[in-house]
C-alpha cells in the first residue's frame, strides 16, 4: 500500500470503528433502560425466524371484555391461553401439540374444569350454588351421562344384586329334594339391620307334592317349616354368600312363596311361617 493511500484508508477505518462502537453503545443503553409504563394494544414476542411465540393483547375488538395472553410452539400452534372477562372471570385453556383443545380451567358460575379429546368431546366438572356436577360426552360431543348432587350412583353391591337377580330369576332350579325355585329377586336393604332382602317363589317337587293351594299344605306346619329352612340355607349358601361374602346370615331376609302365595320368612337360619 502506498504511503499516501495509508493516509486515506487508516483514518476512514478509525472513523468506521468509532461509529460502530458508538452505535453498539446506544443499543446497550436502550436494552438497559427502565421505563415506568409501556402502553400497547398488542405485544408480540417472536423467535429468530419471526414466528410468534408470545402474544399479549387487550380486547379483540372495540367494546370487547378483558385481556389475553397466548403462547405458541415453534410450529405456530397455540399451546396456552389465559384470559379475563367481566362475565367469565379468569380462565386458562391448555392445548395439545396440534393446537386442539385439551383442558379448560375457569370460574364462571363457580369453578369448572373441562377435559377434551382432539375432537372436542370429553368431560366437564363444575361447582356452583346448586352443588357439584359432572357431565360426560360421547365421541360426537353429545352429553351421555350427567351426575350431580341429585343423581343416584349405584355402588358395586347394587350391580351384584342386579346381576344375581338377572341370572337366577328363572324357573326349574331345584333348591332341595322337596322344593323347586320358580323365581328369585334380591335387593340391598337397610331396614331392621338388614343388608339384603330376597324373594323366592317355589313349587313342590313331585316326590313331595303336599301343596293344597292358597298357601296351605297337607303336612304339618313343622314339616313345612323344616322344608323351607332347608331351602333358605341353600339360597344363602349357594346364591348369596358367594356374591356377598361380607354379609352374614342375620343380615339377610328371604321371603318364600309357593305359587305366588306367601309361605313365610327365613332369617339367620330360622323359618317363620306366615301368621306365626
Beta-sheet pairing, 143-148 with 68-72: unpaired
Q: What is the DSSP letter of 75?
A: T
pLDDT confidence band for 110 (50 / 70 / 90): confident
**Cα 93 to the chain's mean position, in Å?**
20
Question: Checking DSSP bridges between strand 112-116 and strand 101-106, what pairing results, if any?
Answer: antiparallel
Q: What is the CB neighbour count within 10 angstroms for residue 164?
A: 21
Distance of CA 60 to the CA centre of its chain: 35
Can you list the domains of the chain with their CATH numbers? 42-148 (3.90.930.1), 156-273 (no CATH)
Q: Exposure of 183 by Cβ count < 10 A (0-12 exposed, 13-18 middle, 19+ buried)?
A: middle
Please report the pLDDT score of residue 135 as a whole number. 83
Radius of gyration of the chain (CA): 40
Which tens digits make up the pLDDT trace of 26-46?
A: 433 445 667 778 788 788 888
pLDDT tens digits for 121-159?
788 887 877 788 888 888 777 778 888 877 776 788 999
Q: What is the mean pLDDT of the chain?
A: 83
Output the pTM of the full model. 0.53
Residues 50-92 have pLDDT tens digits of 888 988 888 766 556 778 889 999 888 999 888 887 777 888 8
Alpha carbons within 13 A on the beta-carbon side of 139: 0
- What is the length of the chain? 276
Spatial strand order in the sheet of 270-273: 173-174, 179-188, 196-204, 252-258, 261-267, 270-273
Q: Which of 199, 212, 265 is nearest to 275 (CA)?
A: 265
Beta-sheet pairing, 131-137 with 143-148: antiparallel
Amino acid at each position: 500500500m502506498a504511503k499516501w493511500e495509508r493516509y486515506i484508508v487508516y483514518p476512514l477505518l478509525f472513523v468506521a470503528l468509532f461509529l460502530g462502537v458508538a452505535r453498539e453503545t446506544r443499543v446497550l443503553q436502550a436494552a438497559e433502560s427502565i421505563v415506568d409504563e409501556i402502553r400497547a394494544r398488542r405485544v408480540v414476542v417472536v423467535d429468530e425466524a419471526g414466528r410468534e411465540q408470545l402474544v399479549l393483547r387487550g380486547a379483540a375488538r372495540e367494546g370487547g371484555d378483558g385481556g389475553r395472553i397466548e403462547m405458541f410452539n415453534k410450529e405456530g400452534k397455540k399451546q396456552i391461553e389465559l384470559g379475563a372477562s367481566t362475565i367469565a372471570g379468569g380462565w386458562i385453556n391448555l392445548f395439545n401439540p396440534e393446537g386442539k383443545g385439551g383442558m379448560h380451567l375457569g370460574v364462571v358460575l363457580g369453578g369448572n374444569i373441562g377435559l377434551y379429546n382432539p375432537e372436542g368431546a370429553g368431560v366437564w366438572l363444575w361447582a356452583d350454588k346448586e352443588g357439584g356436577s359432572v357431565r360426560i360426552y360421547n365421541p360426537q360431543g353429545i352429553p351421555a351421562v350427567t351426575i350431580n348432587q341429585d343423581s343416584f350412583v349405584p355402588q358395586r353391591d347394587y350391580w351384584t344384586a342386579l346381576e344375581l337377580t338377572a341370572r337366577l330369576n328363572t324357573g326349574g332350579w331345584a333348591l332341595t329334594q322337596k322344593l323347586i325355585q320358580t323365581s328369585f329377586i334380591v335387593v340391598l336393604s337397610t331396614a331392621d339391620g338388614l343388608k339384603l332382602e330376597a324373594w323366592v317363589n317355589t313349587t313342590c317337587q313331585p316326590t313331595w307334592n303336599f301343596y293344597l293351594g292358597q298357601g296351605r299344605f297337607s303336612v304339618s306346619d313343622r314339616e313345612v317349616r323344616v322344608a323351607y329352612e332347608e331351602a333358605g340355607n341353600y339360597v344363602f349358601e349357594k346364591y348369596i354368600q358367594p356374591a356377598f361374602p361380607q354379609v352374614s346370615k342375620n343380615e339377610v331376609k328371604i321371603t318364600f312363596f309357593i305359587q305366588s302365595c306367601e309361605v313365610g320368612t327365613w332369617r339367620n337360619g330360622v323359618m317363620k311361617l306366615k301368621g306365626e
